Amino acid sequence: MGEPADHVDEQGYLRLSAASEIKLEYVGGQVMAMAGASPRHNLVAMNLGVALGRMLAARPCLVFGSDQRLRVDPTGAYVYPDVVVVCEAPRFTADTPASLTNPGLVIEVLSPSTEEHDRGVKLAHYRRLASVREVALVSVNERRVELYRRLDSGQWLITDLVEGDVDLDSVGGRLSLAEIYAKVETLPLDPRLSGP
């Protein structure tokens, strides 16, 4: 994740984003450039997208990768999750690029350089979207998935998984950790970018 620019309003962000050749996120009035990802991050994200696409092929769900921008209407944020799934009629903004506004499942693959932001600020924004039923935070340096599920009461249940399957109520399916982490062990660990 790049350094934030000076505070801008939403229209300023949309102008910058439309003219930019790189992905820009907008959270709390700050514009941040999205950095490239490591091989482990890319493989885990691809494994998730492929597995979800295969699981949902016969259903009206759509699976989007990290180039699909998401608009969090309650907070005004524009972000790029690693994977999003929408199983109802998708709704998009009229901006360029168009932003999805009603995902049911949001997945962030946690790189060392973005983990704090993904786990804190972005997770808080995702949980404000009424359509979001689940958010999964997926580690790249260990087999670990944290699943945040919205209960009927509006409370959130957090499940920490290190083996077995991830039950995804939001899409009515299940992914195994073996699928998510297939061939990841062949790649070097992501280095910690914030320290020796």
Q: Report d(CA 47, CA 44) in Å as an integer.
A: 5
- Mean of per-residue pLDDT scores for the chain: 91
C-alpha of 19 from chain center: 23
Token output for 37: 């990802």
Q: Report d(CA 5, CA 129) in Å as an integer.
A: 25
Give the residue with greater pLDDT, 111 vs 75.
75
Q: What is the pLDDT of residue 189?
A: 84
Split at pLDDT 50, 70, 90, the class of 5 is low
59-73 average pLDDT score: 96
Indicate the domain borders of the chain. 37-186
Burial degree of 25 (CB within 10 A; 0-12, 13-18, 19+): buried
| Confidence check: pLDDT of 138 > 90 | yes
CATH architecture of 37-186: Alpha-Beta Complex (3.90)
Closest CA to 71 of 94, 49, 89: 94
Neighbours of 52 (CB within 10 A): 24
Closest CA to 48 of 16, 9, 73, 83: 83
| Confidence check: pLDDT of 1 > 70 | no
Strands lying side by side in the sheet with 145-150: 62-64, 83-86, 105-110, 134-139, 145-150, 156-161
Q: What is the pLDDT of residue 107?
A: 98
142-146 average pLDDT score: 95
Rg (CA), the chain: 16
Which residues are registered as beta bridge partners of 136? 107, 147
Q: What is the pLDDT of residue 117?
A: 87
DSSP string of 10-63, one letter each residue: HHHHHHHHHH-SS-EEEETTEEEEPPP--HHHHHHHHHHHHHHHHHTTTSS-EE
Q: Report d(CA 17, CA 30) in Å as an integer.
A: 12
Q: What is the pLDDT of residue 112?
A: 81
Q: Report d(CA 118, CA 103) in Å as an integer.
A: 17
pTM of the predicted structure, to 2 decimals: 0.90
61-90 average pLDDT score: 96
Taking only the tens place, the pLDDT of each residue in 11-64 is 999 999 999 888 999 998 999 888 778 899 999 999 999 999 999 999 999 999
